Structure 1
């Protein structure tokens, strides 16, 4: 069993490389690389979790990256403009809808979904097109026994029909998860939220000391980027002292929100900034250098945390 398993892995890898060296694209590779019968029909090698087709694409990307050498892909038309032109070339929305219905009748489910994608891209609220694509995906999913493909497809159906519920999803901001990250790992995560347009002319450094860890760090905004320092530099503009325990509470939303704070947030003030200002007033955060306004200004250069529940993956 183990020999068959390792042989299947090597077969897929080596044959993918073989065809890559002959100039095959990822779309051609998934048709060319198939397990031989003695492996494809092995009782312990069913494609219930992984599949040859998606592994082949991973191998290609791992060796050569996303670029397939055709220069138009370096600078294609904008996302929405491409969708509009594709639908126009296909004869307009009604032609696409009719072709999709015919494809579903012919059990060409993924083709129906593909051609409907641009119709939905033009208008995310086109429920007729969304429901038709969901119908195509149901037909596709019910014929699958690979759990990843099936579950992802049925999740896409739920999103298209407006029935997706992520409330029972795993929370990556649970207290246990937050507390498990060292401070020198947690703090640098904010660097990816810098608003370049707001901060492109800014040079501002904030120092943070956690008394319960006896550690100090700094975040330096420098013309659209944020450098993380694992010690306090000499050129601090603002400095605060608190505890890592309090930061954990802030990150998971375990802080008391007064009516005044709620009103400020409702009027558009960033929740994090409002909480920090209140924490300075209450003494949870001690201001060592600079003013409350300086702290507020520093954090105003960052995007608010993204509500992942509002991000669509299929309807976009």
Structure 2
């Protein structure tokens, strides 16, 4: 997070800069990276052949999915979604290049999947149920009640959700929102809540806001604690700064791209806690299912029996999902996930319509049963076979190279690794049970990448390593070329020949990748090898509406995790924090190079007391507090030693949201 001046003391400043806050869904830098050095490579003969071979092994011409994706089409948007300052957040024409045959630079299976996700617009699923697809990475579902629309998942941002709802109202009628369902605690499913209804409307009209137990905790916790690192890595996962082109971003796996607008949240007033929990919203009878700990720590699915409809939220999507996203997250339980899908099969009854909050629906009871069965068995197979090989002493890399899905599963395009990937999921299962250590003592305390790279180069020489990598590249042995070149670049980030060859290697690996996330990561790595990290980090002002609803304890936990321990050794500062508008009081103190806090009355022996409103605190964290909000504000004052307060906040790290990944 950028440092925000908080107080001037004799010409000196202390800053509140420890809280690098970014949403789990992947809010990275808010501007396109410019000035890419070099140009993207063409597909090598190895890639062309590998992609052609994959196309032969799959039924990529089956039209059923495209019929499903287009069924019920009402209208398609055009133009752009813009922020209040005119910044383009979404361009509906940017993926037009996906029409026609797959490019040599895109895995043909991924190309087909990207074409399915490019079916953008308002669709009628069945009487009284509509979906807005392609307005953001997720779907917004609208269910007609007696008096208005029940909105399921209000997308990522206020701009995209308000645009989508307005678009729907033009075609379906200007009805009020009479219910809001947020299926789980990932920001692409709640971030646009304030774009469809305000908190005041919820209160005055007593609108049900439905989420599962633990939703608010999970929606805010890890985003605050590790938001900087997760947000930076998510730029790789979602290919945020890549050009939309056959040599760049073609998809995310779950949808086209993320709308990086204003993020908000509404606390639920109806909590789903049971495995089956009936509820009526605006005359529509739902049966909700609490399904925590699989795709998300807090998640629900639901059915509408009268419409013979089941919504799988994100436990089901038209892709193999992640057990551990490459951006980072808490590891997910593959065995529990498969059990939830068995429960879905048991409860399916005479359901004829499946929808979810990503990708296209499915019609027909038998087709739905087959789809859920295959998804169930993908996660169970991944879990069981990884555990079997773990118990036979194989390491994560060895297991990932050995396990393949049986043809009975791999032939189903709706369960292939467009978002998740089998090799990555295998390693997630291993980590879930045994952690990151593979049991080999050589890996208990390995050298860090830069030091390891230097030692390798001292041994074999950079020129020899690059030459060997070039030979591997020419043979199409890209994994080995990447491993060699990574050592060279980590040892010397100024070795331009190695960086360019590594960039070309990553491009070829991206062109072959079936997973959109892997493709985006490889191609972003190539881009940054040529141009460096993004020039600008996340604009935290987009999070202001959400931060206003985050418990203060989350901020203080993140501050404690930002303490520069090496500088805090021997320090014993004690600071009182008083939030004058919410009447919250905290004591913060450093002991044994650890920052602690407790809620309670101010300490009499504190070095200083900082009193301010919570709104100013949040504005400071979001990076939007100006001089009048802080130094000149009557709502902020310091008593005690201002110098000690400066020194205390000087111990809090200020993480950079654009740290390097492929170089050091």
Is TM-score (shorter-chain normalized) higher than 0.5?
yes
Normalised by the length of structure 2, the TM-score is: 0.42
Contact 1:67 1:73 in 2 (8 A): yes
Mean Cα deviation higher: 57-66 or 30-39 = 30-39
Q: What secondary structure is seen at the aligned counterpart in 2 of 1:186?
A: helix
Q: Offset of 1:286 from its aligned partner? A: 1.9
More helix by share: 1
Alignment length, in residue pairs? 293
More strand by share: 2
Contact 2:465 2:484 in 1 (8 A): yes
Q: Offset of 1:171 from its aligned partner? A: 4.3
Shift in CA distance, 237/230, structure 1 to aligned 2, threshold 3 Å: same
Q: Offset of 1:67 from its aligned partner? A: 1.6
Q: Offset of 1:227 from its aligned partner? A: 0.6
The unaligned stretches of length 5 or more in structure 1 are: 259-274
Contact 2:538 2:657 in 1 (8 A): no
Structure 2 partner of 1:162: 531
Q: What secondary structure is seen at the aligned counterpart in 2 of 1:76?
A: coil
Structure 2 partner of 1:21: 391
Map of 1:218-297 to 2, 5 A cutoff? 218-232=587-601, 234=603, 235-257=605-627, 278=631, 283-288=634-639, 290-297=640-647
Shift in CA distance, 3/139, structure 1 to aligned 2, threshold 3 Å: same
Structure 2 partner of 1:144: 513
Q: Which 4+ residue blocks in structure 1 deviate beyond 6 angstroms? A: none
Q: Offset of 1:170 from its aligned partner? A: 7.1
Contact 1:173 1:251 in 2 (8 A): no
The answer to whether the aligner puts 1:108 opposite 2:458 as a matched pair is no
Q: Offset of 1:169 from its aligned partner? A: 5.9
Aligned partners of 1:132 and 1:8: how far apart in 2?
Answer: 36
Q: Offset of 1:106 from its aligned partner? A: 0.9
Aligned partners of 1:211 and 1:192: how far apart in 2?
Answer: 25
Aligned-CA RMSD value: 2.3
Aligned partners of 2:541 and 2:481: how far apart in 1?
Answer: 35
Structure 2 partner of 1:56: 426
Aligned partners of 1:117 and 1:61: how far apart in 2?
Answer: 24
The answer to whether the aligner puts 1:123 opposite 2:472 as a matched pair is no
The answer to whether the aligner puts 1:86 opposite 2:452 as a matched pair is no
Q: What secondary structure is seen at the aligned counterpart in 1 of 2:531?
A: coil
The unaligned stretches of length 5 or more in structure 2 are: 1-370
Contact 2:537 2:656 in 1 (8 A): no
Aligned partners of 1:44 and 1:15: how far apart in 2?
Answer: 21
Structure 2 partner of 1:207: 576
Q: Offset of 1:175 from its aligned partner? A: 1.4
Aligned partners of 2:602 and 2:540: how far apart in 1?
Answer: 35
Q: What secondary structure is seen at the aligned counterpart in 2 of 1:69?
A: coil
Q: Offset of 1:300 from its aligned partner? A: 2.1
Contact 1:83 1:121 in 2 (8 A): yes
Contact 1:110 1:137 in 2 (8 A): no
